[in-house]
Structure 1
Amino acid sequence: MEWCVSVPKIELHAHLNGSIRDSTLLDLARALGDKGLIDFSQVEHVILKRLSPIYTHFCVLKLEFDYGYLNTDNRSLSEVFKLFDLIHIVTTDHSSITRITKEVVEDFASENVVYLELRTTPKKNDSLGMSKRSYVEAVLEGLRAVSSVDVAFIPNSEEPVNLSSTLLSDASDKCNGNTRKKIFVRLLLSIDRRETTEAAMETVMLALEMRRFGVVGIDLSGNPAVGEWITYLPALMFARQQGLYVTLHCGEVSNSKEIHNMLDFLPQRIGHACFFEEEHWRKLKSSNIPVEICLTSNIRTLSVPTIDAHHFVDLYNAKHPLVLCTDDSGVFSTSLSNEYKIAASTFGLGQKEMFELSKNSIEFIFADDVVKEVLRKTFDSAAKSLTL
């Protein structure tokens, strides 16, 4: 696990609010309880629970013996979704959004994530004085508030050049008076599947307006059992025409026609791909669309039967482009380092293979070639200090 933390990593599928710290969710929920807006006693015990790591039976026993951090008092699937409902309630306040953003970036940076794409659905609530724009501005305020690391989130021609000589210290370096960790952060605005075509287009227009502040793309997410592909297609096509990147939650449930249509759209990336049929796999591999793999999430949501049977194996062996991600690190009690540990332990991958898996992720990021080159140099530098 120590090695998995020390290696530089790329995170491309992290939902902002789902990555909230347990302690922060507890604070925000307690505050709402004090105001009489929720029954705090009904959610406190769920927040305080932790999920045990996802491993094979052998690895679980070994971890329990070596580290002693397994907790048998785990969140059930229904409790996981209760947390998502709670998070939706506590994230209607601008200051809460700013706090969550700041802490999420700090948490990813602390485990040597050197490039982070955060995705979030801009909320609109007139009664609370929140517009989609003010929501995104609260996120940006959170990025500016980070002080423990240097955050490069405004994409312009000078940013990578100015940072390239000192950017992203070796993974083995510790923060000290002369060396600070640095992280690239880019934002994806999510279209919720509950939204209308007009609301989806509003999100795309906002992304275009906020592009100069690091918004680089559009994500389609939300309850996969809700809505129809044709509803969001006009907004997604417009986003791509305007030069925004597009990634789709694809194959979270069994919906053969939608999966086929999504792959026909040729997004720059897709997430999950759990309920693919043979024709979908053939189409995916022929199109070479990178897949955002979220191991813990897929197991916890029962999207795949066991970790051993995860489609990561087939894609990895086929040398298909893929990247390990967390999805919702707070709700699922995981981290990107933990996802790397799970992949290595379950599928028998060594440190060299894991390092290459991480480095190859650079090619799938939604950033320009200058940023990619800086990241390649970061990995090359880290390779000299890591034992591979």
Structure 2
Amino acid sequence: MTHQPTLDEIRKAPKVLLHDHLDGGVRPQTIIDLARETGYDALPTTDVEELRTWFREASDSGSLERYLETFDHTVGVMQTRDALVRVAAECAEDLANDGVVYAEVRYAPELHTSEGLSLDEVVEAVLEGFKIGSEGRGIRVGALLTAMRHQARSMEIAELAVRYRDVGVAGFDIAGAEAGFPPTRHLDAFEYLQRENSHFTIHAGEGFGLPSIWQALQWCGADRLGHGVRIIDDIQVATDGTPKLGRLAAYVRDKRIPLEMCPTSNLQTGAATSLAEHPIGLLRRLYFRVTVHTDNRLMSDTSVSKEFANLVETFGYGWDDLQWFTVNAMKSAFIPFDERLALINGVIKPGFAQLKWQA
């Protein structure tokens, strides 16, 4: 019988994280500390373990809208420069401790200005935190600047992403409730980014179906799809197991468009009913450009290693599968090709080879 990777072994593997929200991965103790320092008095509890449990249970509702409400508390304590630096530094530390060697962490600058910080000050504080937390830990962390799809500041945030792209901002994203807020509402921002030769991903195919994915790709020109799980709606599987891809699904596979999949989060928001039924199993078999991520480490009580371990347990994946997911993610990163290649050939493949040899 082939040895299946354990959680402890997976933690040692060099991993890549492309879909992780800064305000979804704050340490519970940090939330309590910052609430005390900033006068934020709306926390449901100030006990660390109780707070950790509250976030997980509040996120398990099966509703994307209810899930998003948990961010009121994390964003609420992330309104000062010092708070942003601390949260970003701890994020980089936590990811490095989980074996992540490259990460793109996203956040919405517009959500952190209620105490007077400018958008530029928000970005500079987070970049400083990433730098502090990454130093000497064998991890590289870039930022994705997110615009909220129900607001009207996407052009402003897109310009911000371009302004800081040479000092740590890897790209742009839009997020928030999908239903009723199609990505085409922000077409001017996406067209601007394309003219600037800039990278962007779009949350699509999570809380809404194929039209969301189609618009993100064919109208807006997304480089990657945040989640993209509903692409499964364009694949028919016959009783004998033979798959038939619709035109959109075939396009996504043929063009190697990366799917930023976050299995635990998808279960919480109702985008999938169980891990065994999660589209990732079929999409992996059909060789879509599948990548595996955390989304919100606090709300889902997860890490990249935990996500991988759950997939190993559910689908029987081995080291080759985990390496495949990881290389897919590194190929899809928003950094120059030669730098991606250096990490794949110099860090990821040797790291997995050593773990497979030890197993």
**Fold-level match, TM-score > 0.5?**
yes
Q: Which 5+ residue runs of structure 2 have no aligned equivalent?
A: 1-6, 235-245
Which stretch has the larger CA shift, 373-382 or 208-217?
373-382
Q: Please tell me whether residue 47 in structure 1 is matched to residue 3 in structure 2.
A: no
Question: Could you list the runs of 5+ residues in structure 1 that have no partner in the other structure?
Answer: 53-72, 151-179
Q: Contact 2:26–2:87 (CA<8 Å) still a contact in 1?
A: yes
Q: Give runs of aligned pairs for residues 82-93 of structure 1, distance below 5 A.
A: 82-93=69-80
Match among 335, 344, 353 for residue 367 of structure 1:
335
The one-letter code sitting in structure 1 at the alignment partner of 2:355 is L
The CA deviation at 1:51 is 7.8
Matched, 1:29 2:35: yes
How far apart, in 1, do the equivalents of 2:25 and 2:174 lie? 18
Instruction: Tell me the residue number matched to 2:128.
Output: 141
- The reply to whether residue 183 of structure 1 matches residue 139 of structure 2 is yes
Q: Which amino acid aligns with 1:269?
A: R
**Alignment partners' CA distance in 2, 1:260 and 1:40:** 39
C-alpha deviation, 1:117, in angstroms: 0.6
Alpha-carbon distance change, 142 to 18 in structure 1, aligned in 2, over 3 angstroms: same
What aligned pairs does 1:137-216 form with structure 2 within 5 A after superposition?
137-146=124-133, 149-150=134-135, 180-196=136-152, 199-216=153-170
Q: Percent sequence identity over matched residues? A: 27
Misfit runs of 4+, over 6 Å: none
The equivalent of 1:2 in structure 2 is: 8
Task: Give the match's secondary structure for 2:230.
Answer: coil
Corresponding residue number in structure 2 for 1:154: none
Superposed CA RMSD in Å reads 2.4
Indicate conservation of the 8 Å contact 2:265/2:294, yes or no. Answer: yes
Q: Using the alignment, how far apart are the partners of 2:302 and 2:44 within structure 1?
A: 25
Q: TM-score, normalised by structure 2?
A: 0.85
Match 1:314 to one of 282, 291, 295: 282
Q: Give the SS at the match of 1:254.
A: coil
TM, length-normalised to structure 1: 0.79
Equivalent of residue 274 in structure 1, options 219, 229, 237: 229
- Distance in 2, matches of 1:81 and 1:229, equals 18
SS of 1:211's equivalent in the other structure is coil
CA spacing shift, 1:75–1:263, aligned 2, 3 Å: closer
Within the alignment, does 1:232 sit opposite 2:186 as a pair? yes
Q: Is the 8 A contact 1:289 1:321 kept in 2?
A: yes
What's the CA shift string for 1:316-340, capped at 9, x where partnerless? 0011111110001122110010011
Contact 2:18 2:260 in 1 (8 A): yes
- Equivalent residue for 1:253? 207
- For the 8 Å contact 2:145–2:157, the answer to whether it is kept is yes
SS in 1 for 2:278: coil
The CA distance in 1 between the partners of 2:271 and 2:30, in whole Å, is 28
Size of the alignment, in residue pairs?
332
Structure 2 distance, partners of 1:285, 1:80, is 30
Q: Which residue of 2 aligns with 1:167?
A: none
Q: Secondary structure at the match of 2:186?
A: helix
